[in-house]
Structure 1
Amino acid sequence: MQYQGKVYRPWMEANSLLIQATLGCSTNHCTFCTMFDDKRFKIRDLDDIFRDIEQARRVNPRVESIFLIDGNVMAIRTEILLKIINKVTATFPELTHLALYSGFNDFRRKSIADLKAIKDAGVTTAYSGLESGDPQVLKQVDKRMTREQAIEGMAMAKEAGIKVLASFIFGLGGRDRSVEHAINTTSLLNIMQPDAIAPMVLAVQPGSQLEQQVNRGEFILPTQLQVLQEEKYLLENLEDFDCYYWGDHGNNVSPMRGEWPAVRQPFLQRINQHIEHNNAANQNIIQSFAW
């Protein structure tokens, strides 16, 4: 396998085989992220991708789950992406799960027919970074996506039958915009109703633009209590649509996961216990660790 640069995948894809289809991220502007700073975005040569797929087949007698990396694999032109997917499914006929990263704007840049063709070819799940539902926070972190665009992209993926996991970041509004970040992110999720959500606590990555903003005093990190209150607001106000709650990221104060909405009350009890009894809740700054 000819992996290039740093390799990332969602924590819930820990047991998936990774096939590198792109290098880097097609946007790569977000102030909090350094995942792909070591490379410029490009689509790998098909011959190289196919060689990796064939090599993976030679060394793996059975593969049921594959995740296509790097960032924004959905940005690949549909005809090229279909060739990659078809090669994967032909090489691994036992496959039951094929996932990739996709920005919500990547859905929007394709037609419904394209998205349906990608789904029919074998893609089951797309991981999409929402980050926040607050317009000001989205602008501050240079996400280059609006609430309206996220809603449109989600609707297109749903129409095509592609399951979407939406990730977002507790604390991304900082100390001054914590309440608005929680309210507007929850309201956006209620509109979009993704198949799964993955909340995680903000971690300041070394070398990121966000780190520079923190050092200059332009971004004040939230308190641990604010982060807990953001999750409490989410748990109290997220509507009763079916989705999976992947709240067990390593940086989360109270890691927990389960089928929503059945887990609402036990999750709320845990968050309230942390707010009332966890000594860390009284600390003046969040405790989180770089990736």
Structure 2
Amino acid sequence: MHYTGEVYRPPLEARTVLLEVTRGCSHNECAFCVMYKRTPFSIAPMENIISDLEEVRTYAPNIDRIYLLNGDPFVLSFDKLYEIGGLINHYLPNVKTITSYASFYNLKNKSVDELKKLKALGYDELYIGVETAYEKALLNINKGCNLNEYKEGLEKLKSAGMSYHAILMMGVAGAGNGEVNAKATAEFLNIYPPKSVFPMTTSVQYGSKLYEMRQRGDFVEASLGEIIKEQIILVENLDLPEDTLFSSGHMVNLVNVTHRWKHKDQILDKLNYALDNLSQDILNSTNEREAR
């Protein structure tokens, strides 16, 4: 298999075959991110993709799911994605779901009709770094879209019947802004509820633009206590189907809460318990990262 530079995939895809179709990230300008700084964006040669599919067919011919690498493969044109989807269906005819990281930035060059055609090939369950729908914070982190473009992208997904997983950044609006951030983000997600919600605690990584903003005093980190409160407000304002997965089980989070939405009361109970029982030293601290 061909893998270039950093390789990242969501925790839910731990057992999914990874197929490299792009390297790095096409945007690579998000203020909080250093994931792909050492790997320039490029498109994997088609001969590599075919070779990898042939290899997968030899050891896992019956897989029903495949994950495309790397940072945002959905930036590829409709024609390119359609060609890749056709190859996947040819070499691995049991594949029902083709998934990857994506962003609303990637949906600007896709029509609803094109998304429907990709959905018919198996493209679905995209992992979208929504991060926030509070416009001030959204513009600060430079996701490549404003809030109206976010909404246009979400409406495209909804019209195409394509599902998505929402990755959120708790604390990304900075200290004192947790409530407005949580309510704005919940209102946005309620337009077209995701298949899963993954809240993540914002980490200020050395070498990121967010780190520079903090050094200048333009960004003040929320405390861990504020972030738990923000998550509580988010949950209170979300209106999701009962089978939606809500999980803060990633290692960046202080509190691990994983339940289906039908157990919303248990999600809130665990978050409130943490807020009431963790020490003030912990609640007043931040998720600051200084490692180089």
**In structure 2, how many angstroms separate the alpha carbons of the residues matched to 1:249 and 1:132?**
18
TM alignment of 1:184-263, pairs within 5 A: 184-242=184-242, 243-260=244-261, 262-263=262-263
Give the conservation status (yes or no) of the 8 Å contact 1:24–1:70: yes
Shift of 1:156: 1.0
TM alignment of 1:1-291, pairs within 5 A: 1-60=1-60, 62-242=62-242, 243-260=244-261, 262-279=262-279, 282-287=282-287
Q: Give deviations 1:204-238, integer Å, cap 9, x for gaps.
A: 22321112222333321111110000011011111
Aligned residues: 289
**In structure 1, how many angstroms separate the alpha carbons of the residues matched to 2:173 and 2:57?**
44
Shift of 1:280: 5.9
**In structure 2, how many angstroms separate the alpha carbons of the residues matched to 1:92 and 1:43?**
22
Q: Classify the secondary structure of the residue corresponding to 1:200.
A: strand
Shift of 1:17: 0.7
Give the conservation status (yes or no) of the 8 Å contact 1:19–1:69: yes
**In structure 2, how many angstroms separate the alpha carbons of the residues matched to 1:280 and 1:263?**
28
Greater mean alpha carbon deviation, residues 187-196 or residues 280-289: 280-289
The CA RMSD over aligned residues, in Å, is 1.9
Q: Classify the secondary structure of the residue corresponding to 2:190.
A: helix
Q: Name structure 2 gaps, 5 residues minimum.
A: none
Give the conservation status (yes or no) of the 8 Å contact 2:104–2:128: yes
- The amino acid of 1:244's aligned partner reads L
Q: Classify the secondary structure of the residue corresponding to 2:284.
A: coil
Give the % identical residues.
28
Question: Residues 145 and 280 (structure 1 numbering): CA distance in 2 closer, same or farther, change over 3 Å?
Answer: farther
Q: Classify the secondary structure of the residue corresponding to 1:192.
A: coil
- The amino acid of 2:285's aligned partner reads I
Under a length normalisation based on structure 1, what TM-score does the superposition of the two structures give?
0.92
Question: Residues 281 and 236 (structure 1 numbering): CA distance in 2 closer, same or farther, change over 3 Å?
Answer: farther
Greater mean alpha carbon deviation, residues 237-246 or residues 30-39: 237-246
Greater mean alpha carbon deviation, residues 141-150 or residues 267-276: 141-150
Question: Residues 281 and 185 (structure 1 numbering): CA distance in 2 closer, same or farther, change over 3 Å?
Answer: farther
**In structure 1, how many angstroms separate the alpha carbons of the residues matched to 2:182 and 2:96?**
35
Question: Residues 235 and 151 (structure 1 numbering): CA distance in 2 closer, same or farther, change over 3 Å?
Answer: same
Question: Residues 263 and 147 (structure 1 numbering): CA distance in 2 closer, same or farther, change over 3 Å?
Answer: farther
**In structure 2, how many angstroms separate the alpha carbons of the residues matched to 1:58 and 1:203?**
41
Q: Classify the secondary structure of the residue corresponding to 1:198.
A: strand
**In structure 1, how many angstroms separate the alpha carbons of the residues matched to 2:255 and 2:29?**
29
Give the conservation status (yes or no) of the 8 Å contact 1:24–1:42: yes
Q: Give deviations 1:180-227, integer Å, cap 9, x for gaps.
A: 212211222222322322111112223211122223333211111100
**In structure 1, how many angstroms separate the alpha carbons of the residues matched to 2:111 and 2:226?**
40
Q: Classify the secondary structure of the residue corresponding to 1:263.
A: helix
- The amino acid of 2:210's aligned partner reads L
**In structure 2, how many angstroms separate the alpha carbons of the residues matched to 1:274 and 1:133?**
26
- The amino acid of 1:256's aligned partner reads V
Give the conservation status (yes or no) of the 8 Å contact 2:224–2:287: yes
Shift of 1:281: 6.8
Under a length normalisation based on structure 2, what TM-score does the superposition of the two structures give?
0.92
